[in-house]
Amino acid sequence: MSHFTKLDVAQIVDADAFEAAAKELGLKTSRNTTAKSYHGRNSLEADVVVHMIPGDDIALTKNKDGKFDMQADWSYMGSSMIRDTQFKTVQDLQNRLVQLTTKHTIVSRYKRQGFRADVSEDENQNLNVTLIRA
């Protein structure tokens, strides 16, 4: 007899994994620097900055729980930045960043514990991961 384990949206727990996810999407990143938003009028110190267009970045910042939040001027990004990317909506971009960050986190964590990870993507863009003890 078995049980399902399910988590609706994974939180970001690893800044390195987030940066790897952004790079996998072909986005430029910087570490431990200032992120800009609202056409450069606002700024925020961030652990990882994803450069979308000049003056508007995605900032990854640590929260009080020790995990990370993505922050950006999402409404502006929706109308302007997204049209140049592979994503139809801001939500698609956020979902893909979280998904790939989770993949990099799991692969890295379990590799250190002696597992090999096989990852494949299905037709619905879900990532199927098999962890095999090496």
Partner 1 sequence: MKRVLVIEDSQDFLDIFKQFLSTDFEVVVSLDQDEIERLIPEVDLVICDYHFSPVLTFEKVVEIVADRKPVILCSGSPDVTYRHSVPKTEAYKSLKPLALSLLNQGVKLQITSQGGIQMLHDDQVDLSEFGSVKVFRASHVEWEPEGWYVDSAKTGRRLASGFKTRQEALTWEKSHYSPGGDGWDEIEDSNQEGEVG
Instruction: Quote the Cα angle for 106-4-20, to 5°.
Output: 15
Give the containing element (helix H, strand E) for 117: strand 115-121
Q: How far apart, in whole angstroms, are the C-alpha atoms of residue 114 and residue 45?
A: 36
The owner of tokens 């640590």 is: 62
Q: Is 11 in the site for partner 1 (CB under 8 A)?
A: yes
Tell me if 27 contacts partner 1 by CB under 8 A.
no
| Of 42-50, 53-61, 82-90, 102-110: span binding partner 1 (CB under 8 A) | 102-110
112 binds partner 1 (CB under 8 A): no
Q: Does position 2 bind partner 1 by CB under 8 A?
A: yes
Q: Exactly one of 25, 27, 44, 131 binds partner 1 (CB under 8 A); which one?
A: 131
As given in the structure block, the two tokens for residue 129 are 């991961």
Q: How many residues does the chain have?
A: 134
Under the rule (CB under 8 A), what is the footprint of partner 1?
1-11, 13, 94-96, 98-99, 102-103, 105-106, 110, 115, 118, 122, 124-133
